[in-house]
Amino acid sequence: MKEKVPTGIPGLDEMLEGGFKKNTNVLIVGGCGSGKSTMAMQFIYNGAKMGHPGVYVTFEEGAEEIRENMKGHGWDIKKMEDENKIRILAIEPQDVMHILRGEYGRIEDAINELGADRVVIDSVTSIEMMIESEFEQRQGVLKLITWLRKSGCTSLMVYEKAVDVHSASNHGNMESIVDGVILLYNLRRGKTRVRALEILKMRGARHMTNLVPYVLEKGITLQPHQTIFGDFVDEKRM
C-alpha to C-alpha distance for 98 and 126, rounded to whole angstroms: 13
Share of the chain above pLDDT 90, in %: 57
pLDDT digits (tens, 9 = 90+) for 27-47: 999 998 899 999 999 999 999
Q: Report the pLDDT averaged over residues 78-86.
A: 97
Instruction: Evaluate if residue 55 carries a pLDDT over 90.
Output: yes
Q: Residue 210 — pLDDT band, cuts 50, 70, 90?
A: confident
State the pLDDT at residue 236: 41
Please give the residue that has the higher pLDDT: either 237 or 141.
141
Q: Which residues pair with residue 122 across a beta bridge? A: 58, 158
Task: Report pLDDT for 186.
Answer: 86
Statement: residue 8 has pLDDT above 50: yes
- Over residues 197-206, the pLDDT tens digits come to 999 999 878 8
How far is the C-alpha of 60 from the C-alpha of 237, rounded, in Å? Answer: 30
Higher pLDDT, 209 or 180: 180
Residue 237 has pLDDT above 60, yes or no: no
195: enclosing H helix or E strand: strand 192-202
Closest Cα partner for 178 from 43, 57, 25? 25
Report the alpha-carbon angle 151-99-46, nearest 5. Answer: 50
The mean pLDDT of 128-145, rounded to a whole number, is 83
Say if strands 212-216 and 192-202 run parallel, antiparallel, or are unpaired: antiparallel
Please give the distance of CA 179 from its chain centroid, rounded to a whole number. 12
| Beta sheet of 54-58, edge-to-edge order | 86-90, 54-58, 118-122, 154-160, 25-30, 180-189, 192-202, 212-216, 220-222
Domains and CATH numbers, the chain: 4-8+23-182 (3.40.50.300)
How confident is the model over 85-118, as pLDDT tens digits?
Answer: 999 999 987 787 777 777 899 999 999 999 999 9
- φ/ψ of 86, rounded to 5, equals -135, 145
The mean pLDDT value of the chain amounts to 87
SS3 61: coil
| Res 155: pLDDT | 97
Long-range CB contacts (within 8 A, 24+) of 77-80: 77/41, 77/45, 80/45, 80/48
